[in-house]
Amino acid sequence: MIPGALVVCPFCGCGCVFHLAVRDGRAVGITPINSHPVSRGSLCIKGWKAHEFINHPARLRSPLIREHGIVREASWDEALDLVAKRLCEIKEKHGGNALGFFSSAKVTNEENYLFMKMARAAFGSNNIDHCARL
């Protein structure tokens, strides 16, 4: 079996890198790497099982919009239009300080950087934080 792409473990801060094998669009297995300076060929129980939630049937597969208490599927265009419009309206009416942004300790550096850039440059708000404090 091909070991698969080199991926950083999504769980703790140790930062083990492992091979993630994919077959027919499904993540099927994990192989640790001997030469990785932290992992050194071993992983903890969470790392070994990290592929198991990727194809879980409960994954969200479509943008959802809630209106009058009812949740319905929406296209990406409709959902993104709505997000931008409502956030802009609030900014216009109450200023950027009426908006808050929670970034994430689980997404990449690039995504954190862009999210913070969006909060500050697009919406004029410094109310951006993530749950490292927690």
Strand partners, 18: 7, 32
Residues numbered 43-102 forming contacts with other proteins, rule: CB under 8 A: 43-46, 49-56, 58-66, 71, 74, 76, 79-88, 90-91, 94, 96-102
**Exposed/middle/buried for 16, CB within 10 Å: 0-12, 13-18, 19+?**
buried
Residues numbered 93-112 forming contacts with other proteins, rule: CB under 8 A: 94, 96-112
Residues numbered 11-30 forming contacts with ligand SF4, rule: CB under 6 A: 11-12, 14-16
Q: Which does 20 bind (CB under 5 to 8 A by kind): ligand SF4, other proteins, none?
A: other proteins
- Tell me, by CB under 8 A, how many residues bind other proteins: 102
Whether 16 and 32 have beta carbons less than 8 Å apart is answered as: yes
Mark residue 68 as left, alpha or beta (left: phi above 0; alpha: psi -120 to 50; beta: remaining): left
Whether 41 and 32 have beta carbons less than 8 Å apart is answered as: yes
Q: Which does 65 bind (CB under 5 to 8 A by kind): other proteins, ligand SF4, none?
A: other proteins
Q: Which does 28 bind (CB under 5 to 8 A by kind): ligand SF4, other proteins, none?
A: none
Q: What is d(CA 13, CA 43) in angstroms, rounded to the nearest whole number?
A: 13
Tell the smallest beta-carbon distance from residue 52 to ligand SF4 (Å): 13
Q: Which does 118 bind (CB under 5 to 8 A by kind): ligand SF4, other proteins, none?
A: other proteins
**Exposed/middle/buried for 126, CB within 10 Å: 0-12, 13-18, 19+?**
exposed
